[in-house]
Amino acid sequence: MDVYTISQWVLFFYIYCFLGWVWESTYVSVKSKKLVNRGFLKGPLLPIYGSGAVCVLVATIPVRDNIALTFVVGMVAATALEYVTGAVMERLFRVRYWDYSGKPFNVNGYICLGSTVCWGVMTVLMVNVLHRYVADLVLAAGETWDTAAALVLTPFVTADFMNSFHAAIHLRDILVRNEKLNEELQKLALRRRELEQRLADAGEKAREQRAAELQELLLRIGELRGRLAVPNVRSIHGLLRRNPAAVSRLHRETFAQLKQSLAEKIGEIKNI
């Protein structure tokens, strides 16, 4: 494998990000029977594929002439990257943007045997076939044009990443807030049932006081439900739409409630 410049490595990263996006979007679109712009970013790039490709290209340099070792090294390197990325993203965002929990031989839902084997096969195909064409394409442009292309593309990719990162952080904050609001609403629901029972059993003198307490409680419940509303609907909805398999183990019910609320809100916006 030739020695590449930093700009050429950057372009390799972008190219494999794009090819990964094509693969994932096609697969998910066929499976969903509708067009899906797959991935964390808005643009046609999937960083996990670009990162995996660069990681594998570097890791397999000593063994690239041996197909079996290329398969094993690429499989291990890419799987380790996928596990660490999935674990870090869930810890940071409280959402799994991919989940293999339903797949056989999975490890904490971040990786599974099927994806691991797939990484190995893709490594062999990339190192022995695909990368020759990708490298020829990049090298044919010349170092000056490679540097220029990397400098032009990087600000756009960085801006896309920052916007998507901000949306993911915003989604996390909403989940945490709504989880607390739902817990408080559950407590108030119990209090409401108690007051309604006391009101039914109260004598004439106590009835007015109980009714006032119940009315105050209902106002509080209405206020908390109003705070469950979702701001910045489109950015969060876009993030979840690009990741239809996303789940939240820590906020399972709240996450499902949020997705339903987003779907209803988007429907209202479209009807305006």
Across the chain, mean pLDDT equals 89
Distances (CA, A) of 177 to 70, 142, 148, 251: 47, 52, 44, 11
Q: Which of 120, 121, 171, 153 is nearest to 17 (CA)?
A: 153
- Environment class of 34 (CB within 10 Å of its CB; exposed 0-12, middle 13-18, buried 19+): exposed
* Other C-beta atoms lying within 10 Å of the C-beta of residue 136: 9
| Non-local CB neighbours of 174 within 8 Å, separated by 6+ positions | 230, 236, 258
How confident is the model at residue 210, as a pLDDT? 78
Taken as a whole, the chain contains a residue count of 272
Task: Indicate the pTM of the whole model.
Answer: 0.84
What single-letter DSSP state applies at residue 128?
Answer: I
**One-character DSSP codes across 116-127:** HHHHHHHHHHII
Distances (CA, A) of 221 to 183, 190, 228: 12, 11, 11
Q: Which of 269, 189, 249 is nearest to 225 (CA)?
A: 189
Which of 65-79, 177-191, 209-223 is the least confident region?
209-223
How many whole angstroms separate alpha carbon 239 and alpha carbon 242? 5
**Tens-place pLDDT, residues 5-17:** 999 999 999 999 9
How many whole angstroms separate alpha carbon 102 and alpha carbon 185? 32
**Tens-place pLDDT, residues 210-258:** 788 888 888 888 888 887 766 667 778 888 888 888 999 989 999 988 8
How confident is the model at residue 18, as a pLDDT? 97
Do the beta carbons of residue 12 and residue 57 sit within 8 Å? yes
**Tens-place pLDDT, residues 23-42:** 999 988 888 788 888 889 99
How confident is the model at residue 235, as a pLDDT? 76
How confident is the model at residue 258, as a pLDDT? 87
How many whole angstroms separate alpha carbon 84 and alpha carbon 95? 14
Phi, psi (degrees; rounded to nearest 5) at 96: -95, 120
